[in-house]
Amino acid sequence: MLGCAAVLSGMSLHGYAQQPFMVDEVVAVVGNSPILYSEIDQMAKQLVQQRRQMGYTSDRNPESEALEQLLLQKLLFNQAQIDSVEVQINDIPQMVEDEVHRMVEQQGSLLALEAMYHMPIFEIKRNLQTRLEEMRYAQRMQAEVQSKVTITPGEVDRYYRKIDKDSLPIIPEQVVYAQIFKYPNSTKEAKQRVRERLLELRERILKGESFEMLARVYSVDGSARQGGELDPMSKESFVVPFGNALEKLRPGQISEVVETEYGFHLIQLIDKKGNLYHCRHILLRPVFMDQELTETTEQLDSVVRLVRLDSLTFEKAAMDFSDDKYSKLNGGIVSNYEMLELSNRYNEQPTTRFIREELMPTDSRILATLKVGEISDAFETQDLRGNLGSKVLKLVEVIPAHSASMKDDYLRLEQLALQQKQDVEFRKWLDEKIAGMYIRIEPQYRYDDFENKAWLKK
């Protein structure tokens, strides 16, 4: 299967920026997009560098591999335009500015950078922006194609039976753990402070200050860099309170303070097309003084002492003290249900088994210090939505690395089988698009070692 993931996620902005541009020729055209030799040269050098860092080499001609990846990226970009795929690109200009700033510092001056690339700064920025936008559209297009692929239990069973027993996937060591998570006792007061702060910001906006500027300065959401602006989405794509508030707004209007599980928002509707709401927001979360967080940690440490003295079971402590609705009713046992909910992956079955790399870094580090049955001291942390609190962990079980089995590792096998099916279906989709889209490759660049020979049919 063509290395789609590499072209869509592995080619970083830094990789494009490390090599100077050169006198160009058009090597290939996909739809309306030319592929220049300089692009191939830069990507080929990056592929070689990546492999050296990973300690291996490839028998493939790096220029051939780079061209094939660029053909894929350009096709996906063009198909995204045909299908009117929408992506968030408002953050890209800032990314370009940040990268150019880094490049100027690296070269010593703006003049040195322009001399290196043999072009003025506005052209350097334009090229960087074009490449980043194409990559963003290509990533989204591939994700949309693959998201439509589903798998049945029967297909998982057939996938497993076809694997030679000596070649079964190795499942890395996994852990099952429990937790007690508690938000600070002063959460009510902290929430009120946030509400008052947002009301002040709302008043400033109504008096003429820029919503976008205040979002950049104060919002703690990732959208702050683009003035709080979000991709156009349906009401159902937002959490319920946010979507309900949006529905009541007219373009240009600003909501009252809206509370969601992520914090508190001010929302401004930009426009609405069909069922898609285009908006920006300012997100603030409750802020606590050190003493407030310390008090919560000390309270949980008192609970830990009772559990260690066998005066209280961990399961009862989780039921009585934990604020985590996803685990408290299950003896504190943690599952990935919340993560699936956050990423809208409702078709996947939740699991309580985690590979250590899947855990939050702090949780992974602390669990590594525990023996099965042991309980950690309380520590300050945050939940998956970024809200502050304190937590206690218990290591329940360690499952050693082993060959996959249907009995013990069905969910992992389901993921592997789904990925294989997605790859197959994506290849079929890709071949159809290659056949139907204008593609021209100059004769001297029609490499024999292309993994997908469909490119050479044109």
Question: What CATH number did the domain enclosing 234 receive?
Answer: 3.10.50.40
Q: What is the mean pLDDT of residues 276-282?
A: 94
Q: For the chain, what is the mean pLDDT?
A: 89
Please check whether residues 255 and 177 belong to one and the same domain.
no
- Residue-wise pLDDT for 80-91, tens only, equals 999 988 887 877
Residues 204 and 309 in one domain: no
The pLDDT tens digits for 117-162 are 788 999 889 888 988 999 999 999 999 999 899 999 999 999 999 9
Number of structural domains, the chain?
Answer: 3
Q: pLDDT for 173-216, tens place per residue?
A: 999 999 999 999 888 899 999 999 999 999 999 999 999 999 99
The rounded distance, in Å, linking the Cα atoms of 269 and 89 is 18
CB contact at 8 A, 258 and 265: yes
Cβ atoms of 69 and 7 within 8 Å: the answer is: yes
- 303-356 pLDDT, tens digit per residue, is 999 999 999 999 999 999 999 999 999 999 999 998 888 877 766 788 999 999
Instruction: Tokens for 115, please give them.
Output: 């001399």
Do 284 and 387 form a contact (C-beta atoms < 8 A)?
no
> Would 155 be classed as within a structural domain?
no
Q: Is the pLDDT of residue 54 over 80?
A: no
Specify the 3-state DSSP secondary structure of 223: helix
Whole-number pLDDT of residue 39: 84
Asked whether residue 334 falls in the same domain as residue 384, the answer is yes
Last residue of a domain, one of 259, 284, 309: 284
Based on the fold, state whether residues 25 and 112 are members of the same structural domain: yes
Q: Which domain holds residue 239?
A: 187-284
What is the phi-psi region of residue 92: left when phi exceeds 0, alpha when psi lies from -120 to 50, beta otherwise? alpha
Residues 25, 9 share a domain: yes
Report percent pLDDT > 90 for the chain: 64
376 and 446 part of one domain: no
Residue 309: inside a domain: yes
Is 156 within a domain?
no
Residue 385 is assigned to a structural domain of this protein: yes
Report the chain's C-alpha Rg in angstroms.
26
